[in-house]
Amino acid sequence: MKKLTAIILSVLMVLSVGGLVVYVFHQKTVNGGEAPVIAFASDVLEVPTTATEEDLLQGVTATDAEDGDVTLRFGQYGEGDIRCL
């Protein structure tokens, strides 16, 4: 019985690792593999606490190897959501 349990657990582990490898490969090919490079006009950002999203994004650029300049995509996903490109 112990041998059968060990075999079943080994098969499940191999299938899990295989599934993870397939998932990572799929995500890399679907998403282009590289994240956009975000650059800032200066090293220090000084803004008041009442700064708007537009104020915070001033001088920020984003470029992607596949799509080129993707700076205009900042903020297109909804109010206050600048995490997504």
> How far apart, in whole angstroms, are the C-alpha atoms of residue 82 and residue 85?
7
Sequence-distant (≥ 6) Cβ neighbours of residue 75 within 8 angstroms: 53, 57, 81, 82
The stretch 55-84 carries a mean pLDDT of 70
Q: What is the pLDDT of residues 26-68, one digit of tens each?
A: 877 776 667 778 888 888 878 888 888 888 888 888 887 777 8
Element holding 27 (H helix, E strand): helix 2-30
Q: The tokens 């998932």 sit on which residue?
A: 23
Q: According to the model, what pLDDT value does residue 10 have? A: 95
Q: Which residues pair with 38 in a beta bridge?
A: 62
> How far apart, in whole angstroms, are the C-alpha atoms of residue 43 and residue 33?
27
Q: According to the model, what pLDDT value does residue 43 have? A: 85
Among 41, 36, 44, 39, smallest CA distance to 67 is for 36
